[in-house]
Structure 1
Amino acid sequence: MRILVIEDHKDILANITEYFTLKGCEVVGALDGLAGLHLAVTGNFDAIILDLMLPGMDGNLVCKNLRENTRQQVPILMLTARDELSDRLAGFKVGADDYIVKPFALSELFARVEAVARRSTGLSNRMLQVHDLTYDLDSLEVCRGGKLLKLNPTNLVFLELLMRKSPLVVKRKELEEAIWGTNTPDTDSLRSNIYLLRKAIDKSFDIPLLHTHHGVGYKLHSPY
């Protein structure tokens, strides 16, 4: 899972990051509401852990902006020291999926995040889309502009990873490990597969979606 944690208390943020990383998650942190909102809008996360009391913009307003203005449906778990019913109801009203009160056990927080992310996956993450490119994870059908595309199994794995993280850059090492684990082959293997993927999804279309960041990795991104 890729998790965004918006928490202004540095020690709490560090503890959550360490625990979730040990559980195999990729964790991105923000120390204020405005920075967290920007990351939530521009990134691609499986769940967001959102503190209520934040500098710049409080958690309720961050959540409301995500739900109403950007139509983001990523699961949001509110994290706060407030235990009043009115506070919890206010969080749910603006779109929070769950609510946990400080102090909390990291194991319970992780279990709750897994639960909201699992519920969301069944609802929204079975169809990935970037611009006019879609990937149905159930049928394994990839289409662009209504045209069915043919991809080999390796490129299907690459495509899912790139689409889930769009518009962020996916590093070469992450792409290699998704297929070959720690036994990464020579660089030509990755380059050859990326060439085939680009040929399949971009060659017959006016707008290129697959972009190379030389020496770093690749990303799927639409200019519109």
Structure 2
Amino acid sequence: MINVLLVEDDIDLATTIVDYLEIESIECDHASNGVMGLNLIERNPYQMIILDVNMPKMDGLTMCKTLRERGIDIPVLMLTARDSLDNKLEGFAAGSDDYLVKPFAMKELVARVQVLAKRKSGEVKRLTFANLTLNLTAHTATVAAYSLKLSPITFKLLEVLVREQQKPVTRQVIMQAIWGDDQPDSNSLKVHIHHLRKQLEQAHCQAVLETIPSVGFRLKLKNETQA
């Protein structure tokens, strides 16, 4: 079953979309603005996002740009009443994958959701380290048959470390890769480091998350000995 997030401030339209998608066996969570949407994305592994352009607190273009700056490549379908070529190009420049102009037929929305989900599912990419496997398409991490429970932010943290294959990665590099220029305080990184370390330990992973004082972090093999 496809799992999507709808970010739309028009409650009546949002209710209609959610109900219709569920009839089509598509699970759909709803957020009424971009800030709420980003918070949900940090906690849930959505397969795609349906994103309205004009919203309070954070508009759709800003939210889409923020996702891409954080390295989150979930497919985005933008909804808007603005149908000029310049508006569409602005949406694509922000990182959207598709564009649907209001008003639209619900059948067309479903078709576009299904096409985007299928397109993404055909692009499976994996990274491995020790007995740890990352599926970059599904945003899942597994140790043997055990699935790690990771938020999108923690998954991105793990991806950055796995790509370096035991090389140290500075805090600055990690925070830039995850949050781009819109970085929170350092406590946010500490929380995700703690959660990732706990998940690796619970899964009996052969990779250990090591803190390197005054430098940053790296993954190393459990049986690695000091030189």
Contact 2:76 2:96 in 1 (8 A): yes
Structure 2: where are the runs of 5+ without partners?
Answer: 153-198, 209-227
Q: Relative to 1, partners in 2 of residues 1:96 and 1:204: Cα closer, same or farther, differing over 3 Å? A: closer
| Structural mapping, 1:68-147, within 5 Å | 68=69, 70-124=70-124, 127=126, 133-134=132-133, 144=143
Q: Secondary structure at the match of 1:123?
A: coil
**What is the alpha-carbon root mean square deviation over aligned residues?**
3.2
The share of aligned pairs that are identical, in percent, is 39
Contact 2:49 2:75 in 1 (8 A): yes
- 2:47 equivalent in structure 1: 46
The answer to whether the aligner puts 1:24 opposite 2:25 as a matched pair is yes
Poorly superposed stretches of 4+, deviation over 6 Å: none
- Per-residue Cα deviation, 1:68-92 (whole angstroms, up to 9, x for no partner): 1x11110000001111111100000
Shift of 1:167: 3.6
| Structural mapping, 1:148-163, within 5 Å | 149=144, 151=145
- 2:181 equivalent in structure 1: none
Q: Relative to 1, partners in 2 of residues 1:143 and 1:56: Cα closer, same or farther, differing over 3 Å? A: closer
Match of 2:119, as an amino acid?
R
- Per-residue Cα deviation, 1:134-186 (whole angstroms, up to 9, x for no partner): 2669xxxx964xxxx4x4xxxxxxx5xx56x7449xxxxxxxxxxxxxxxxxx
Contact 1:41 1:72 in 2 (8 A): no
- 1:5 equivalent in structure 2: 6
Match of 1:90, as an amino acid?
E
Match of 1:107, as an amino acid?
K
- Per-residue Cα deviation, 1:38-72 (whole angstroms, up to 9, x for no partner): 2123321111000000100110000000001x111
In the alignment, the residues of structure 1 paired with residue 127 and residue 14 of structure 2 have an alpha-carbon distance, to the nearest angstrom, of 30
Q: TM-score w.r.t. structure 1 length?
A: 0.61
Shift of 1:204: 6.0
Q: Aligned residues, how many? A: 156
Q: TM-score w.r.t. structure 2 length?
A: 0.60
Q: Secondary structure at the match of 2:122?
A: helix
Structure 1: where are the runs of 5+ without partners?
Answer: 152-158, 169-197, 208-224
| Structural mapping, 1:205-216, within 5 Å | none
- Per-residue Cα deviation, 1:103-140 (whole angstroms, up to 9, x for no partner): 0011100100111111111114x6488xx832669xxx
- 1:214 equivalent in structure 2: none
